[in-house]
């Protein structure tokens, strides 16, 4: 028998092929990630567990540098790296937010700040983070009406509700955005356009982590719980993964602790929640393969929608 043709060799090749399916291509050498790493280091964060990488099937994510054990803290991001409403209040927008009546929603404050900082370009201290954010999103609200019309009826109805909600959000932002004209040489209608605020809304909606803030008079009564977490938000979703994620009041860091082990050079996942694929597409713009939370939606007239991804 020729070398490499036996049963043992075939098993070894299958195992090797399977392991490479989960391995990514290191992207830490790319300029945008080099700048992000410098920016994070200035804010007292250096990661020894994870590196940015590109993976088949999931795209950009984070890969383990070494084997990770069950119960290990895989990332601990300092409060100084988080973008919250506190960030907005401390910025040049703070005075405008504080005096505006009726009070702004925390979401609008975050979105306005994102658009203003993106418009600032090289002058923005948040540029290294803004550079790695998606330029576009795939939530139904971002899709063309012709594409939405092809979705199953229950999802189509939810997509239209989402579009109406974003349009109302944009309409409610107009007066406040106009008050910011002294900060811009360009007309604020062009800076805070529908597409710009849609991008910001999707950024917060798809990438924010939960960090409860105390209620402040300058904001409306809506929950102030969204925080953008640079670098940490590169972690992709897997429905089969269990993690513990929360802001640690003692260390003043947002921490993620894994409940399972991970081998070296494999993609590290977190779970966004026990969501079915309709919810995942609406809120995050993707569906999960072999989703154990997949379910059947039945609308009036027994128009049935079985939203599964059989990857």
Q: Is the pLDDT score of 20 beyond 50?
A: no
Q: Which residues pair with residue 209 across a beta bridge?
A: 227
Contact 257, 234 (CB under 8 A): no
The fourth-level CATH superfamily of domain 21-81+229-288 is: SET domain (2.170.270.10)
Nearest to 167 by CA among 140, 134, 197, 136: 197
Residue 44, pLDDT above cutoff 70: yes
| CATH topology agreement for domains 21-81+229-288 and 83-227 | no
CB 283 within 8 Å of CB 162: no
Mean predicted confidence (pLDDT) in 278-282: 93
CATH number of 83-227: 3.90.1410.10
**Alpha-carbon distances of 141 from 136, 151, 156, 226, rounded to whole Å:** 11, 12, 10, 20
Confidence band of 5 (pLDDT split at 50, 70, 90): low
pLDDT at 256 over 50: yes
Report residue 17's pLDDT band, with 50, 70 and 90 as the boundaries: very low
Q: What is the pLDDT of residue 311?
A: 39
Looking at 40-54, 125-139, 283-297, which range is the least confident one?
283-297
Find the radius of gyration of the CA atoms of the chain: 22
User: Distance between CA 68 and CA 36 in Å, rounded?
Assistant: 23
Distance from chain centroid for Cα 146: 26
Quick check: 158 pLDDT over 60?
yes
61-119 pLDDT, tens digit per residue, is 999 999 999 999 999 999 999 999 999 999 999 999 999 999 999 999 999 999 999 99
Percent of the chain scored above 90 by pLDDT?
78
| Domain-wise residue ranges, the chain | 21-81+229-288, 83-227
- What confidence tens digit (pLDDT) does each residue in 195-211 have? 999 999 999 999 999 99
- pTM score, whole prediction: 0.88
Cα gap 182→135, rounded to integer Å: 27
Q: Are 284 and 276 in contact (CB under 8 A)?
A: no
Sign, CA torsion 28/34/35/38: positive
Mean pLDDT of 238-264: 93
- Number of residues that make up the chain: 311
Q: Residue 134 in contact with residue 126, Cβ under 8 Å?
A: no
**Is 11 a residue whose pLDDT tops 90?**
no
The mean pLDDT value for 208-219 works out to 93
């Amino acid at each position: 028998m020729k070398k490499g043709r036996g049963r043992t060799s075939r098993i070894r090749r299958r195992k090797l092929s399977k392991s490479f399916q989960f391995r990514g291509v290191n992207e830490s050498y790319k300029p945008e990630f080099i700048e992000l790493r410098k920016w994070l280091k200035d804010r007292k964060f250096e990661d020894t567990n994870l590196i940015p990488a590109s993976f088949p099937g999931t795209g950009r994510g984070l890969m383990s540098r070494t084997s990770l054990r069950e119960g290990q803290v895989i990332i601990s991001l300092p409060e100084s790296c988080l973008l919250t409403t506190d960030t907005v209040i401390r910025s040049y927008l703070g005075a405008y937010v504080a005096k505006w009546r009726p009070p702004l929603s925390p979401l609008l404050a975050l979105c306005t700040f994102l658009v203003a900082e993106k418009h600032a370009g090289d002058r923005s201290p948040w540029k290294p983070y803004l550079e790695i954010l998606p330029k576009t999103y795939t939530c139904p609200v971002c899709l063309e009406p012709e594409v939405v019309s092809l979705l199953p009826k229950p999802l189509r109805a939810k997509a239209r509700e989402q579009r109406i909600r974003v349009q109302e959000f944009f309409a409610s932002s107009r007066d406040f955005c106009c008050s910011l004209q002294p900060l811009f040489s360009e007309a604020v209608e062009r800076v805070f356009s529908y597409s710009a605020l849609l991008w910001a809304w999707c950024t917060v909606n798809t990438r924010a982590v939960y960090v409860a803030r105390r209620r402040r008079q300058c904001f409306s009564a809506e929950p102030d719980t969204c925080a953008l977490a640079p670098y940490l938000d590169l972690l992709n979703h897997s429905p089969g993964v269990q993690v513990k994620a929360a802001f640690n009041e003692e260390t003043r860091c947002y921490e993620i602790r894994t409940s399972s082990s991970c081998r070296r050079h494999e993609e590290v996942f977190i779970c966004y929640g026990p969501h079915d694929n309709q919810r995942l597409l609406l809120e995050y713009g993707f569906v999960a393969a072999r989703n154990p939370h997949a379910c059947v939606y039945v609308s009036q007239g027994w128009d049935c929608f079985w939203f599964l991804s059989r990857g």
